[in-house]
Amino acid sequence: MLLQTFYVLFFIEVRTRRVFVAGCTTHPTTTWVTQQARNLVWSLQEGTLPVQILLHDRDGRFPASFDTVLRREGLQIVRTPPRCPQMNGYAERWVGSARRECLDHLLLLHERHLLRVLTADTAFYNRRRPHQGLGQQCPIPLARQPGDGALIRRDVLGGIIHDYELQAGA
């Protein structure tokens, strides 16, 4: 409504294409970015992210403190070469998918609204959306249950995205 630019910090596990939205803000300060790195470290310590290398671009919003927090956890930090957009291919693909499939169909009101929408979209992306690069599997594999019943459609984000599943036969 106020035509603000929102910045989203996200991480992608390249092997599985799993996306983690760390946060969004209208004013990404170095303090905010460093705090998001600390939040990521908590996920690393819980074992939910089997990560060894973090690749990020050369944006000035990634301060030395961001890299330091992650290096303390044993991550190797790799920066993309200058003017080399193909190094961010996985990130660019997710951004394009999120925009085309979800964000272009909504008017976002504020940061919380964007975060809520991205959380729902990312959950669908990780758990229900098949990926060609993964052999039509999802980043978080589905627990396949044989179904021979009716096809059920579930609306995600009020019907912007549709999820389909076979109902177990009776």
pLDDT band at 49 (very low <50, low <70, confident <90, very high): low
Of the CA atoms within 13 Å of residue 106, those in its CB half-sphere come to: 21
Q: Smallest Cα–Cα separation from 67: which of 59, 131, 75?
A: 75
CATH number at residue 138: 3.30.420.10
- pLDDT value for 133: 66
The structure's pTM equals 0.77
Distance CA 156, CA 163 (A): 7
* pLDDT one-digit tens code per residue, 73-102: 888 888 888 877 777 788 888 899 899 988
Q: Which domain holds residue 134?
A: 7-144
- pLDDT at residue 136 is higher than 80: no
**Mean pLDDT on 133-142:** 72
* Residue 170 belongs to some domain of the structure: no
Number of domains in the chain: 1
* Residue 155 belongs to some domain of the structure: no
Strand 53-56 vs strand 76-79: parallel, antiparallel, or unpaired? Answer: parallel
* Residue 13 belongs to some domain of the structure: yes
